[in-house]
Amino acid sequence: MTASFEGTAALITGAGSGMGRAIALRLAGQGASVLGVDIDEGRLAETKALTAGRLSVRQADVGDPGACAEAVAAAVAEFGRLDVLGNVAGIYLAEHTTKMSVEQYRRVMSVNLDGCFFLAQAAIPHLLETDGTIINIASNSGLQGVPYSAAYSMSKGGLIALTRSLAVEYLKTRLRVNAIAPAGTRTNIATSGTFPTDVDPDLARRLGGLRGLAEPEEIAALFAFLASDEARSITGAVYTVDNGLTVS
């Protein structure tokens, strides 16, 4: 049975494309009021159009702590509550570790990790009022060694640590914090990401699995389950959706 999110409110980052868009559409389709946040205004407008205007959108850079707090405040001001925070926005930057600039490194960490912390920090007081939930989109890169992706892997490993830490900090409440760790999924990151050309082919082969890409809607389906009351006993968990990549 599909859960109803009628009367609940969600803030989903990265809602302009890929998984964030699929998640925002899924939750809105199941009745939630959704604020979609993204740095790309044009993509956000496309997502909104797919819901016949039902979705609320806000342009923001999750790498900016002040913008994170403002986005949470905007969701609460608009909906009067917050039940779900989905930290989905992320960037992938593949590079030889010795060639990463300080700016590239800091950008990956600030978007993929710092933003999730600051959004959670602002959202938690509201989520405690609704027995709400935080769902973080991590990656197989946070669970296994992945070449040419040290900063990205650090950010995703950190996100898994953040997930577990918050889950335990709030164990005596009804707030739940979980993570999904996808591997290759058919989104912009996977299909149009750049990769250094001078890589060792044996190592580069380790990036892909044997079974191809997942679809963003599969991530959205798991997200919707984790956000629902059927998952009320699940907190501190990390779910792989990786076609067996990390286990093999």
Ligand X SMILES: NC(=O)c1ccc[n+]([C@@H]2O[C@H](COP(=O)([O-])OP(=O)(O)OC[C@H]3O[C@@H](n4cnc5c(N)ncnc54)[C@H](O)[C@@H]3O)[C@@H](O)[C@H]2O)c1
137, 151, 179, 231: which one contacts ligand X (CB under 6 A)? 137
Contacts for 171 with CB less than 8 Å, ≥ 6 apart: 235
What region, left, alpha or beta, does residue 66 occupy, with left being phi > 0 and alpha being psi -120 to 50 degrees?
alpha
| Candidates 148, 152, 170, 239; catalytic one | 152
> Which 13-32 positions form the footprint of ligand X (CB under 6 A)?
13-14, 16-20
Contacts for 194 with CB less than 8 Å, ≥ 6 apart: 94
- Let me know if 148 is a catalytic residue: no
Is 188 an interacting residue with respect to ligand X (CB under 6 A)?
A: yes
In the complex, the smallest distance separating the C-beta of residue 59 from ligand X, rounded to whole angstroms, is 8
User: Taking Cα atoms as reference points, which of 81, 24, 76 lies closest to residue 55?
Assistant: 24
Q: Which stretch binds ligand X (CB under 6 A): 24-32, 60-68, 75-83, 171-179?
A: 60-68
In this complex, which beta carbon is closest to ligand X, that of residue 128 or of residue 218?
218
> Which 89-108 positions form the footprint of ligand X (CB under 6 A)?
89-92
Is 160 an interacting residue with respect to ligand X (CB under 6 A)?
A: no
* Residue 5 near residue 31, CB atoms below 8 Å: yes
Q: What residue has token string 């016949």?
A: 52
* Paired residues of 38 in beta bridges: 59
Q: Token pair of 20, please?
A: 């964030």
Q: Which stretch binds ligand X (CB under 6 A): 2-10, 74-82, 185-193, 203-211?
A: 185-193
Is 61 an interacting residue with respect to ligand X (CB under 6 A)?
A: yes
* Residue 10 near residue 83, CB atoms below 8 Å: yes
In this complex, which beta carbon is closest to ligand X, that of residue 152 or of residue 170?
152
- Specify the amino acid at residue 110: S
Contacts for 170 with CB less than 8 Å, ≥ 6 apart: 124, 128, 177
Q: Which stretch binds ligand X (CB under 6 A): 56-64, 75-83, 127-135, 162-170?
A: 56-64
29, 30, 31, 40: which one contacts ligand X (CB under 6 A)? 40
Cα Rg of the chain, angstroms: 17
Is 154 an interacting residue with respect to ligand X (CB under 6 A)?
A: no
For ligand X, the binding residues (CB under 6 A) are: 13-14, 16-20, 38-40, 43, 61-63, 88-92, 111, 137, 139, 182-185, 187-190, 216
Which amino acids are annotated catalytic? 152
